[in-house]
Amino acid sequence: MSAYQVVIIGSGPGGYVAAIRSAQLGFKTAIIEKYSTLGGTCLNVGCIPSKALLDSSEHFFNAKHNFEAHGIALENLKADLSKMVERKAQVVKQTCEGVSYLMKKNKIDVFQGKGSFIDATHIEITAENGEKQTITAEKVIIATGSKPNYFPGMEPDKKRIITSTEALILQEIPKRMIVIGGGVIGLELGSVYARLGTAIDVVEFAPQILPTMDLALGKEMQKTLKKEGFSFHTEHKVTGVKNVGEKVVLTATNKQGETINLEADYCLVAVGRKPYTEGLGLEKIGITCNEKGQIPVNDHLQTTVPNIYAIGDVVRGAMLAHKAEEEGVFVAEHLAGQKPHLNYNLIPGVVYTWPEVASVGKTEEELKTMGVPYKAGNFPYKALGRARASMDLAGFVKILAHAETDEVLGVHILGARAADMIMEAVVAMEYRASAEDIARISHPHPTYTEAVREAALDATAKRALHI
Ligand code: FAD
Ligand code: NAD
């Protein structure tokens, strides 16, 4: 029986990064993955494939709608979805192979099969062909991730009523698509198809889309996406979705109690994800999941069983790849006796629509609820020379700073390249910068980052220069 110091169950960004860091720290390490490719949700059916399709569809959208204004004329423009999906598959393949290479490089043993606890130190692995083997582990890190969630009446049949996984492999551009949930997946995958010409109906339970982010972001995003072919039905409760052959029919009730019916070729269910622990045998080791299905952990990400840790989507907190990675590093370093640090307040969130949305720290609504005195600074993209040059005029940077100390408490950006720009805010906030600190740093001209400086000037002393 093979014996390891650290065994990780699940090879998503949490699991494979935990394995690499454990091996770097000198632990004899193994990783167990039930699928034949490594990388988990993120690499196989999440972050990477969705961004690949977002990039392809963005090229098509720009060629169709924006090139002409730049003096570029195209004829017979056509979107070939099969080719886009094939390119995406290649990107996924290369990225997953990269993880396999990293496992080899770090001398991590990879077991393909479903891992299940026999007891706290013995794990049984069942391969696809049914063969079983058992390995032993001094420490175990559970990184089994999550699966798409749904509510009664909207059960995906994976044919016409689909989850994000099927939405990444459609072979035809739908004429109409209903998206239940105006969150991250709904807007990203909705954008892919809207850019290819699909009419998108978003049915959202909350009063606006992106309800958990700073509300200014969703409000502006809603306006922008309407121009791309989105319709929004906010404050609507879905009562049922049916596959009626060639199409789907959805019924929902609005705030006034009126019923609406929507028809489309497909309905994408994107109402969040749920932690995945099926078949892990948690009952055999006395771990009980909470009401959200998460594995309870303490500040060291240790479960109620002392030698077993859990990270990523299967525990509390944002369901994000970089959060899972940080937790993987954290646990490995903790096991090595180090004192790692993880600032959950500074895990940035990004929505890869165009314009992009990116956020870090507290939202204005959170500061109000917490009773923290704050001041807000804003700067619109349309006042930037860079934005006029690229014609990316939509968006703004919003900075929230403490009213008395000027410390930056939250930064929220909607606009071109917001995903990359947010890192300036994360670094500044990690070092507890004030809005004035950011305002006094030279920002290259002409760049979108000038909007960060201007918003900081606005926050610190209401003295933006270019508006
Ligand atoms: P996962 O990536 O879910 O990996 C868990 C792995 O464990 C899986 O491979 C699973 O097969 C395996 N496993 C489960 N049980 C067992 C078992 N018993 N034995 C062996 N193996 C097992 N996040 C971002 O930060 N940025 C993005 O742009 C982004 N885009 C996304 C787009 C989509 C469409 C989706 C669905 C998600 C996206 N996410 C994104 C979220 C991100 O994918 C997750 O937060 C991340 O993958 C979580 O990592 P994890 O390691 O916890 O789990
Ligand atoms: P989400 O939590 O982002 O959005 C779900 C949306 O569905 C919310 O707006 C919610 O109000 C709405 N909703 C919930 N129940 C509903 C109902 N019954 N009817 C109508 N609307 C309802 O979840 P998601 O978009 O499914 O994404 C799942 C997870 O994956 C998220 O936690 C996200 O962090 C992660 N993810 C991240 C990225 C990224 O980082 N760019 C991309 C995709 C997914």
Rounded to 10 deg, the angle between the 47-65 and 81-105 helix axes is 140
Specify whether the CB–CB gap between 351 and 357 falls below 8 A: yes
Which residues sit with their C-beta closer than 6 Å to ligand 2?
151, 180-186, 188, 203-206, 211, 238, 270-273, 318-320, 350-352
Measure 340 CA to ligand 2 centroid, in angstroms.
Answer: 30
What ligand is nearest to the CA atom of residue 145?
Answer: 1
Can you give the pLDDT at residue 182? 98
Would you say the CB of residue 264 lies under 6 angstroms from ligand 1? no
As a whole number of angstroms, the distance between CA 21 and CA 33 comes to 17
Side-chain half-sphere CA neighbours of 393 within 13 A: 6
Which one of 7, 11, 47 would you pick to mutate in the ligand 1 pocket, going by the greatest count of ligand atoms within 8 A of its CB?
Answer: 47
Give residue 318's identity as a one-letter amino acid code. A
Q: What is the position in ligand 2's atom list of the atom closest to the CA of 206?
A: 11
Check pLDDT > 90 for residue 114.
yes
Check pLDDT > 90 for residue 191.
yes
Four-point Cα dihedral 448, 449, 452, 453, nearest 10: -120
pLDDT (tens digit per residue) in 97-107: 999 999 999 99
Structure tokens at 395: 């968006």
As a whole number of angstroms, the distance between CA 422 and CA 412 comes to 8
Check pLDDT > 90 for residue 49.
yes
Structure tokens at 197: 């010409």
Can you give the pLDDT at residue 171? 93
Closest Cα to atom 32, ligand 2: which residue?
Answer: 319
Can you give the pLDDT at residue 179? 98
Closest Cα to atom 12, ligand 1: which residue?
Answer: 10
Q: Which residue bears the tokens 């699928």?
A: 35
Check pLDDT > 90 for residue 1.
no
Would you say the CB of residue 44 lies under 6 angstroms from ligand 1? no
Q: What are phi and psi of 451, to 5 degrees?
A: -65, -30
Q: If you ran DSSP here, which 8-state letter would residue 31 be given?
A: E
Q: What pTM did the predictor assign?
A: 0.98
pLDDT (tens digit per residue) in 51-61: 999 999 999 99
Q: Which letter, b or e, does each residue of 249-284 get, where b requires 16 or more Cβ atoms within 10 Å of its Cβ?
A: bbbbeeeeeeeeebebbbbbbbbebbbbbeebbbee
Check pLDDT > 90 for residue 223.
yes
Specify whether the CB–CB gap between 466 and 383 falls below 8 A: yes
Rounded to 10 deg, the angle between the 13-24 and 321-335 helix axes is 30
Check pLDDT > 90 for residue 110.
yes
Can you give the pLDDT at residue 178? 98
Find the helix or strand (DSSP H, E) in which 269 lies: strand 266-269
Is 443 strand, coil or helix? coil
Structure tokens at 61: 């959208």
As a whole number of angstroms, the distance between CA 453 and CA 466 comes to 11
Give residue 395's identity as a one-letter amino acid code. G
Structure tokens at 250: 């959805």
Closest Cα to atom 41, ligand 2: which residue?
Answer: 351
Check pLDDT > 90 for residue 192.
yes
Q: What is the position in ligand 1's atom list of the atom closest to the CA of 279?
A: 18
Query: Residues in the chain, how many?
Result: 467
Give residue 66's identity as a one-letter amino acid code. N
Tell me the residue ranges of DSSP E strands in 28-108: 29-33
Structure tokens at 110: 């990879």
Is 98 strand, coil or helix? helix
As a whole number of angstroms, the distance between CA 154 and CA 378 comes to 40
Tell me the C-alpha to C-alpha distance, in Å, between residue 355 and each of 42, 48, 327, 345.
Answer: 22, 18, 29, 24
Q: What is the position in ligand 2's atom list of the atom closest to the CA of 184?
A: 25
Structural domains for the chain:
2-148+274-342 (3.50.50.60), 161-271 (3.50.50.60), 346-461 (3.30.390.30)
Annotation says 445 is catalytic? yes
Check pLDDT > 90 for residue 296.
yes
Specify whether the CB–CB gap between 255 and 239 falls below 8 A: no
